[in-house]
Amino acid sequence: MATRAPFDPYALPNLMRLSEADEEWYKPRYRAIQDLVHEMEDENNIIAFKISQIRHRLEMRQEALASQPIERSNDFQFFTTYR
């Protein structure tokens, strides 16, 4: 009975050489996948930029609200006015 070599998780996989026909078939697919990856990266960057803008606007609003004086209602005036 044949024995297998022990499994080495760090070993390189066994690869076969590509024929020229395979290479011609592979290149357009590789480029298409590469274009998709770049497009997704661009969309991810746009989303990150939009999130950054929204966070900045929220921080500015919070600072503006924090700098305004707090208006306290006069409960006595409320009860005497609306009876």
pLDDT band, residue 37 (cuts 50/70/90): very high
Handedness of CA 11, 16, 17, 21 (dihedral sign): negative
Please, which residues have CB within 8 angstroms of residue 14's CB and are 6 or more apart in sequence?
A: none
Average pLDDT of the chain to the nearest whole number: 81
Task: Tell me the HSE value of 49 on the side-chain side, using a 13 A CA sphere.
Answer: 6
Asked if residue 39 belongs to a domain, the reply is yes
User: Which domain range does residue 27 map to?
Assistant: 20-67
Q: What is the pLDDT of residues 38-57, one digit of tens each?
A: 999 999 999 999 999 999 99
Asked if residue 6 belongs to a domain, the reply is no
Asked if residue 29 belongs to a domain, the reply is yes
Asked if residue 42 belongs to a domain, the reply is yes
Q: Is the pLDDT of residue 11 over 70?
A: yes
Q: What is the pLDDT of residues 72-82, one digit of tens each?
A: 666 666 555 55
Task: Tell me the HSE value of 36 on the side-chain side, using a 13 A CA sphere.
Answer: 6
Q: Count structural domains, the chain.
A: 1
Asked if residue 8 belongs to a domain, the reply is no
Specify the long-range contacts of residues 56-61, CB closer than 8 Å, at least 24 apart. Answer: none
Asked if residue 3 belongs to a domain, the reply is no
